[in-house]
Structure 1
Amino acid sequence: MGGAGGRRGHGPSGLRLAVVIASALAVVQLVVVIAFSWPNARSAPHDVPVVIAGRSQAAATVADHMAKAKPGAFDTTTVRGEDEAREALLDRDAYAAVVADPAGPKVLVSSAASAAVTAAFTQIAAEIEERSGKPVTVEDVRPAPEKDPRGAAFASSLLPLVLTGMIGGILIALKVTGLRDRLVAATAFAVVAGLCTTAVVHGWIGALDGDYLAEAPAVVLIVFALTVTLAGLGSALGHRGIGLGVITVLLLGNPLSGVSTAPEMLPEPWGALGQLLPPGAGASLLRSAGFFDGAGAAGPLTVLLTWAALGLVLLWVANARARGAKRLTAVG
């Protein structure tokens, strides 16, 4: 009787657990679908930095047209001439520029910075040409690599870095003990993975066409920041830390990175938030190192170093806690 009663009690309890697990998985799936599809579905310019060059009256006319055509889409800054506009694009202060030249308007773009913004401004060039009745020249100041003109391969290379960095950090947290050994494992993995990945993406796939010696350290730092962050969270907080890391890096960081378009093409304020997470900062750092000789790298570099520092602190905390537990056990 007691055994039968135990089995009857076990049934409903098991059923409740199954329902809870199924419900939790359904919620997780819903969150994943929203996180990965919603930003792309709502992709549109939001205060994209743009430069307008030319005489004050002509520049004001162009700025007014852009503001009326697409309200809130562009954050315009006026400069005196075309040279300053080019410099703004190469310094990553702007994604595109309109030169209001009396001889004929000119649109400057940078497909290496964002193929999506370049496509949008190609359309704007056609609109300006139609309104002005003058031919509009479109020049790509910093084109994307010939083998990856739309930046698809560049964008696709980010997710493997995120996944392998996460997996590396989780394995280090679960399988490696001791602060020194964890640091050695994380550093060795980041260096080897970074050098090899950069060689493939740069030399074989052709998604990067800058200086390999500038690109490789950026990839090493991306992998290291991801790895040490997950290792630190897992070592200090256990499975809860690993779950928090996966949610932060994969479910939030990856879709909000803006790597396939631009951070300013995502709904506000998610694009800005994505740049504070490792995937978004990593994509921006690699773009700066690979295409713009390091211009605009200070912000993403600071973000990645901050995440790496957080991971190191968590590893130190986990190690100090483990040593304290050993001393208590020895005393006991």
Structure 2
Amino acid sequence: MRSHRPLTAGVLVALVVVALQALLVPLFAGPASGLAPRDLPIAVAGPPPAAAAVTQKLATEHPGAFEVSTVPDAAAADAAIRDRSVYGAIVLAGPAPEVHVASAAGPVVSGLLGQAAGPQAKVVDVVPLHSGDPRGTGFGAGFLPLAITSLLAGVLIFFVVGRRGARLTALLAYAVAAGLAGAAVLQGWLDVLPGDYLAVAGVLGLFGLAVAGAMTGLGALLDRPGLGLGAVTMFLVGNALGAVAAAPELLPQPWGAVGQALPIGAGATLLRSVAYFDGHGGAGAAIVLSAYAIMGLLLTLIGRRGTTVIKKEAAPELALAR
């Protein structure tokens, strides 16, 4: 009877992994394959009759794709793009319409807006990507490792550091160091990100504290199951729905909104806003990250101490030794 137990356990492990795979594949592939505008905020600039005609045409040819607002001229459209009220604008000036975009807000979005306006439209990039990252791929590729290292830092602090006060100190020290080092690498070494160095470092530090603090806090509250919950929610789900290289309005809803309520989506939005748009459009993301950071620190403070966990686990061994 006992000889069958290892075989049964192996089969169960295989089935659990396959079930997890069946869940993860649609979680990652589904949103990526379904990228399309969904109430994407754009503007139409021009005389009211012409703007109304274009708005009606967009609603007829692309139902539900765009949330259109009208502005008087190109200057107003560009101002709305720069303060992140809209992703782009169709400007009705001259013999052919122009499409004003911000590739810095997401090159995928810029491409979709150009396609929607038609092949005759001239494309004007109001807020272009940084010269060191002309296709925008470095932004996403450089952001993901920060999420991985922050998650790892939270786990290690939970296991290695026992006292609550020491854990808080370690989390804050990590956040400061991660922000300064991350900004130095992305700006000074790789040159994939513009913006003020200290402002970018502040965003990266807040993101690191949000992820690491939440992991340590969940571990302090729920022990190892808390770490598992944090890893699945913040990293697996958050990475799939974060729209780091796209825009949350391109994901099927409500998944785009869910991604922005998790640290990876909020962190990417805030970093993009600070680096390219002087912070415009980043207030909501800053609130989300601050909430995770504060929650993590509070849970770390009120949760169990690491030394207590170790003593409880070591007690049976000590009793046997005696």
Q: Could you tell me the TM-score, scaled by structure 2's length?
A: 0.92
How many Å separate the matches in 2 of 1:96 and 1:115?
Answer: 11
Question: Is the Cα–Cα contact under 8 Å of residues 114 and 261 in structure 1 kept in the other structure?
Answer: yes
The letter of the residue matching 1:73 is A
Give the aligned partner of residue 113 of structure 1.
105
1:59 has 2:51 as partner: yes
1:304 to 289, 295, 313: 289
Of 54, 76, 85, the residue aligned with 2:68 is 76
Q: What's the counterpart of residue 137 of structure 1? A: 122
User: Would the aligned equivalents of 2:162 and 2:307 in 1 still touch at CA under 8 Å?
Assistant: no
1:212 equivalenced with 2:197 (yes/no): yes
Q: Distance in 2 between matches of 1:49 and 1:203?
A: 34
Report if aligned partners of 1:62, 1:100 keep a CA contact under 8 Å in 2: no
Equivalent of residue 18 in structure 1, options 2, 10, 13 = 10
SS at match of 1:254: helix
My pick for the range that moved more, 28-37 or 219-228, is 28-37
Alpha-carbon distance change, 320 to 192 in structure 1, aligned in 2, over 3 angstroms:
closer
Determine which of 156, 164, 170 is the counterpart of 1:171: 156
C-alpha distance in 1 between matches for 2:277 and 2:146:
21
1:3 maps to what in 2? none
Alpha carbons 2:273, 2:279 under 8 Å: kept: yes
Which residue of 252, 258, 271 corresponds with 1:273? Answer: 258
Deviations for 1:88-112, whole angstroms, at most 9, x for unmatched residues? 1001111000112254422110000
Q: Distance between the aligned counterparts of 1:36 and 1:187, measured in 2?
A: 32
1:221 is matched with 206
Runs of 4+ in structure 1 deviating by more than 6 angstroms, as ranges, are: 320-323
Match of 2:91 among 86, 99, 124: 99
Alignment counterpart, residue 77 of structure 2, candidates 54, 63, 85: 85
Deviation at 1:231, TM superposition (A): 0.6
Q: Give the whole-Å Cα distance in 2 for the aligned partners of 1:87 and 1:293.
A: 13
- Matching residue of 2:318: none
Kept in 1: contact 2:180–2:201 (CA 8 A): yes
* Partner Cα distance (2:21, 2:170) in 1: 32
SS of the aligned residue for 2:240 comes to coil
Which of 166, 180, 184 lines up with 1:195 in the alignment? 180
User: Which residue matches 2:168?
Assistant: 183
- State the Cα distance separating 1:13 from its structure 2 match: 2.8
SS at match of 2:103: coil
* Structure 2, unaligned runs of 5 or more: 316-322
Whichever residue aligns with residue 4 of structure 2, its letter is P
- Give CA-to-partner distance per residue, 1:233-274, whole Å, 9 cap, x none: 112111100110011011110110111111111111101110
| Runs (5+) with no aligned partner, structure 1 | 1-8, 130-135
Identity of aligned residues (%): 41
Shift of 1:186: 1.1
Q: Is the radius of gyration larger for structure 1 or structure 2? A: 1
- 2:227 alignment partner in structure 1: 242
Structure 1 residues 183-221: Cα deviation after superposition (integer angstroms, max 9, x where no partner): 111111121122111111112222211111211100010
SS of 1:296's equivalent?
A: coil
Distance change in 2, residues 1:271/1:53 (3 Å): same
